[in-house]
Structure 1
Amino acid sequence: MTPRDGSMSPWSPEPSGLEAALTHLQCLLVARRSRANPEGVNWHQYDVLELLRVRSSMRPSELSDALDVSRQTTSKALRVLKDLNLVTQRALGEDRRELSTSLTPEGEAFLARIARGRQDIGQLAASVLTEGEGALFAVFCEKVAAAMEAEPVR
């Protein structure tokens, strides 16, 4: 942004057209996600929910291993998700120390609501892009995502 006096800001040069477009799209996607997620579930917690959706139930240690995070990180995520009534845990075995974690009906409804939001955005994109443009957009998104995953965060 250019200050009112017309000088360039020392901290932020004018973004390129591509940077501005990506920033605008990111802001809109985050705003839509926030509206669909009033519970404030973060990305890691969402990954836990998705994994439970796919596998139906898992022990916390299995969740940690599958998501490649510490047991402490998984334990913290599960505490929040239990407080939100999105997951439930039940004791396994005779010593009852081992737990099985699964989605609650509220957790399933949460994931369905998030999926509807993704579908709505997909349908919106399909409505304004030709089939060829949509295919190219998907390829370009995957290409940028792969580069972001390969690049260390600065």
Structure 2
Amino acid sequence: MTPRDGSTPTRHPEPTVLQAALTHLQCLLVARRSRVNPEGVNWHQYDVLELLRARGSMRPSELSDVLEVSRQTTSKALRVLKDLNLVTQVADGEDRRELSTSLTPEGHLFLARIARGHHDVARLAASVLTEGESALFAELCEKVAAAMESDQVR
């Protein structure tokens, strides 16, 4: 099909076996994530929730600093999480403008549901891989993840 601007469509090479396998696995993982996350919590919002779970109540400025994102980005994430009733904020200390953010009971339940989803995927993988394959798969996943993280820094 010719693009509307009349140019010739770009032909992409056929995917390699590795590319096809990674794409297929990624699609399945994203689909599974959508099933256990009907709220549509995005990656940054999830990071906020996990940080609150790990460290307890925090001020928005602390969340921004630890996550290395702007305060505006954190503020937007917190607004969505409050609307979903996953976090609550209360005035902190003498300066009533500063807020302390913490997980609600619903926030804890959400994270528990996500953790069960992670556990289920790991259990499924373990059920079809030998112990040696599991160790090799984990090693290779870490190797690719490290390369991806390194590439993000550039």
Deviation at 1:12, TM superposition (A): 2.0
Aligned amino acid, residue 29 of structure 1: L
Query: Cα deviations across residues 125-148 of structure 1 (Å, max 9, x unaligned)?
Result: 000000000000000000001111
Deviation at 1:153, TM superposition (A): 8.6
Equivalent residue number for residue 100 of structure 1: 100
Equivalent residue number for residue 32 of structure 2: 32
- CA distance in 2 between counterparts of 1:98 and 1:11 reads 54
Equivalent residue number for residue 76 of structure 1: 76
Deviation at 1:150, TM superposition (A): 1.1
Deviation at 1:149, TM superposition (A): 1.0
Aligned pair 1:120/2:128, yes or no?
no
Equivalent residue number for residue 66 of structure 2: 66
In the alignment, structure 2 segments of 5+ residues that lack a partner are 1-8
TM normalised by structure 1 equals 0.91
Deviation at 1:68, TM superposition (A): 0.3
Moved over 4 A (4+): none
- Which has the higher mean CA deviation after the structures are superposed, 112-121 or 143-152? 143-152
Identity of aligned residues (%): 82
How many residue pairs align between the two structures?
Answer: 146
TM normalised by structure 2 equals 0.91
Deviation at 1:82, TM superposition (A): 0.2
In the alignment, structure 1 segments of 5+ residues that lack a partner are 1-8
Give the match's secondary structure for 1:40. coil
Deviation at 1:151, TM superposition (A): 1.3
Equivalent residue number for residue 139 of structure 2: 139
Shift in alpha-carbon separation, 1:151–1:43, aligned structure 2, 3 A: same
Equivalent residue number for residue 6 of structure 1: none
Give the match's secondary structure for 1:14. coil
Deviation at 1:21, TM superposition (A): 0.3
Aligned amino acid, residue 86 of structure 1: L
RMSD: 1.5
